[in-house]
Amino acid sequence: MTHSPALQKVPPTVVSLADHEQHARQQLDDNAWAYFSGGAADEITLRANRSAWDALPLWPRVLRPLAGGHTRVSLLGRTLAHPILLAPIAFQRMAHPDGELATAYAAAALGAGLVLSTQASLPLEPIAQAVLSDPGRGPLWFQLYLQHDRGFTQALVQRAEAAGYEALVLTVDAPTSGIRDRERRAQFRLPPGIGPVNLAGLQPAPAPQLQPGQSALFDGLLHQAPTWDDIAWLRSITRLPVLLKGVLHPADATQAVAAGAAGVIVSNHGGRTLDTAPPTAVALPRVAQAVAGAVPVLVDGGIRRGTDVLKAMALGASAVLVGRPAVHGLAHAGAAGVAHVLRLLRDELEVAMALTGCKTLADAPAALSAD
């Protein structure tokens, strides 16, 4: 399968995120589809991320006073029009020639936060320049992988600061890549001309000198893996708040707060790292209880409906992130497709709030309770 040109507008028959996904499958070649849609191993966690949200019933309430309701939330000192952000996804030019730039424009137009990936296929500076002047935009954050070269990492952080990014999102759940069978079957390769342009100039890590019987992973790659000590180092070199992405265990959430994290993002990397890890809907209330309001708790993974957003807020989330749906919209119809995905989620959220008697998202916990 080869790429088809993206549409310039969204057809009126596209009415859900699932519709965008179906159209994206038709647009993308097998190589890109394996990368964007695949999970780890048997994809048990990938599927569970969806089914866990579906398993939570919302309780309708009737005759509630709803006039003047809204979806606004506060996050890191800002008031946002709604609690939906776009998660970091690498190499978006595989989905559309405009890549991350189209995604950024759509996010700004819909008031959604944007988290740009370290492995973006466009430079971080023009993305920031494109949206920072928009008064209605959401937060602009930069997702960071710590590199083996601390000097390079520090320079990357300084670039993000200088460009106007407002927070760093440090991904902590992938000291090594997951076993991604779907990518391996597709023999995934980055297309020519697409790569992690913000990592240009980074020299490869020195090859470990392994002895017979040693593990290339434990005796090699993982010597470069970040630890809690690196959180302190990162905070020491930046004025930006640092959120940790990839926290599932309550004890890790507690330690993140103690380490000075400005927020935690409950995430299993979209089911792409450890298969059979818990779905985020299961981990979220445990993490929220452990954090106990000390810092914001965000969540991603399997969110495909506005009802899912409401459920996440009811379980203690301060905001949610969506990843694959944005890529589906991007592949389908460029910036217009991403904007439509965001509009659908916000519209569905408002309807779900109204039908559960939630005037604001502070009322969300009652939507999951019959007490």
The response to whether 154 counts as a known ligand-binding position is no
The response to whether 180 counts as a known ligand-binding position is yes
Residue from 322, 34, 41 nearest 177 by CA: 41
The response to whether 145 counts as a known ligand-binding position is yes
The response to whether 269 counts as a known ligand-binding position is yes
The response to whether 99 counts as a known ligand-binding position is no
The response to whether 362 counts as a known ligand-binding position is no
How many CB atoms lie under 10 A from the CB of residue 251? 11
Residue from 96, 129, 116, 91 nearest 27 by CA: 96
The response to whether 35 counts as a known ligand-binding position is yes
> Catalytic pick from 20, 23, 96, 269?
269
The response to whether 105 counts as a known ligand-binding position is no
The response to whether 272 counts as a known ligand-binding position is yes
Q: How far is the C-alpha of 78 from the C-alpha of 113, rounded, in Å?
A: 11
Cβ-contact 198, 188 below 8 angstroms: no
Q: How far is the C-alpha of 231 from the C-alpha of 255, rounded, in Å?
A: 11
CB burial of residue 161 (10 Å; 0-12, 13-18, 19+): middle
The response to whether 267 counts as a known ligand-binding position is yes
> Distance between alpha carbon 20 and the CA centroid of its chain, in Å?
18
Cβ-contact 114, 103 below 8 angstroms: yes
Length of the chain: 371
Cβ-contact 363, 306 below 8 angstroms: no
The response to whether 311 counts as a known ligand-binding position is no
Known catalytic membership, residue 269? yes
The response to whether 305 counts as a known ligand-binding position is no
The response to whether 90 counts as a known ligand-binding position is yes
CA of 84: how far to CAs of 17, 29, 80, 347, in Å?
A: 14, 28, 9, 12
The response to whether 165 counts as a known ligand-binding position is no
Cβ-contact 358, 366 below 8 angstroms: yes
Residue 221 one-letter amino acid: L
Known binding site for FMN: residues? Answer: 88-90, 117, 143, 171, 245, 267, 300-304, 323-324
| Binding site as annotated, residues for glyoxylate | 35, 145, 180, 269, 272
By annotation, the residues acting in catalysis are 269
Q: Which residues are annotated as a binding site?
A: 35, 88-90, 117, 143, 145, 171, 180, 245, 267, 269, 272, 300-304, 323-324
